[in-house]
Structure 1
Amino acid sequence: MKYLVMVQGSQADYEAMSGRGSAESPAWDKDQLTTMFAHMNAINEELTAKGEMLDGQGLAAPSTTRFVTVDGEGGPVVTDGPYAETKEVLAGYWLLDCASLDRVTEIAAQVARCPAPPGAPEYAVVIRPVDERGPSQD
């Protein structure tokens, strides 16, 4: 079964990883970043070796976000980020093909153990099964 495993973050977290800490997220130093990336790379290597990794990406800062809706005539309405009202955003994901929900939960727990500076916010790792049923055939 396929699962989307998602990690969350905020604009403050991206800034903290660039050395600009705040009350919401303390600044990361080079060693802390190196340790975090090593942890994530080890997970990626394990998932790839086991044939469970379909895709995985870290996403750019929320400040680069663009929302597109349509107006009354169907024309695009574009709003650029960041958004003060948005606390948490998708920071990265893995698309995995795992034998069971138990297995993907083990992986999510491994992701959740990612090293971070003291006082850094903690976010839940979100698991969503991919619905592969396709359109209903009534």
Structure 2
Amino acid sequence: MPKYLLLKHYTGGPEQHRPFPPMDQWAPEDVEAHFAFLKNVTKVLEENGELVGVQALTPAQTWVRYGGPDAAPVTTDGPLPETSDLVAGWYMVDVDSRERALEIAAHISSEPGPGGEPLHEWIDVREIMSGSASDDCPT
């Protein structure tokens, strides 16, 4: 069965369907409802045997690159991507088809935001490479 990574972003992607403020400006009950929804998604995916993993990430970002054989790794907080697009978190699912991955992503996209209205947030869906070059790369 194929595995897919469903990426949630803080910003970036296509234009928002319905603009909404950053979460730190939401009412506490809206934040609670949002996370309760996401916890339920995790529970359902676990029960279905489709969940491989799920994690939320902080907005802090550090870039790292190899500094050379006699140097420490080079780190910096920038530059940020032009879109300031940061990954907020992800689900990894193991499903029967791409269609099922898209169905799960669409459901996650309906998560509640301010006032309980669905966010209609864009979810970035990426298939995980199988590990075999002959399977993953065109010839």
Q: Quick check: TM above 0.5?
A: yes
Shift in CA distance, 120/105, structure 1 to aligned 2, threshold 3 Å: closer
**CA-CA distance at 1:108 after TM superposition:** 0.4
Match of 1:48 among 46, 49, 52: 46
**CA-CA distance at 1:86 after TM superposition:** 4.4
Query: Quick one: which amino acid aligns to residue 77 of structure 2?
Result: D
Q: Mind listing any 5+ residue stretches in structure 1 that lack a counterpart?
A: 19-26
Residue 23 of structure 1: aligned partner: none
Residue 60 of structure 1: aligned partner: 58
**CA-CA distance at 1:126 after TM superposition:** 0.9
Quick one: distance in 2 between partners of 1:66 and 1:86?
A: 16
Retained in 2: the 8 A contact 1:9–1:123?
Answer: no
Match of 1:116 among 113, 117, 130: 113
TM-score, normalized by length of structure 1?
A: 0.75
Does residue 99 of structure 2 align to residue 102 of structure 1? Answer: yes
Secondary structure class of the residue paired with 2:114: coil
User: What is the CA deviation profile of residues 48-87 of structure 1, one whole-angstrom value per residue up to 9, with x for unaligned ones?
Assistant: 00000010011112xx21101235x454211025838442
What are the residue-to-residue correspondences of 1:1-20 with 2, within 5 Å? 1-10=2-11, 16-18=22-24
Retained in 2: the 8 A contact 1:56–1:95?
Answer: yes
Shift in CA distance, 122/88, structure 1 to aligned 2, threshold 3 Å: farther
Quick one: distance in 2 between partners of 1:115 and 1:17?
A: 11
Cα RMSD between the aligned structures? Answer: 2.8
Secondary structure class of the residue paired with 2:129: coil
TM-score, normalized by length of structure 2?
A: 0.75
Retained in 2: the 8 A contact 1:40–1:114?
Answer: yes
Runs of 4+ in 1 over 3 A off after TM superposition: 81-86, 118-123
User: What is the CA deviation profile of residues 2-33 of structure 1, one whole-angstrom value per residue up to 9, with x for unaligned ones?
Assistant: 111111114xxxx9323xxxxxxxx1111100
Quick one: distance in 1 between partners of 2:122 and 2:43?
A: 22
Number of residue equivalences: 122
**CA-CA distance at 1:135 after TM superposition:** 4.2
Shift in CA distance, 98/84, structure 1 to aligned 2, threshold 3 Å: closer
Shift in CA distance, 2/120, structure 1 to aligned 2, threshold 3 Å: closer
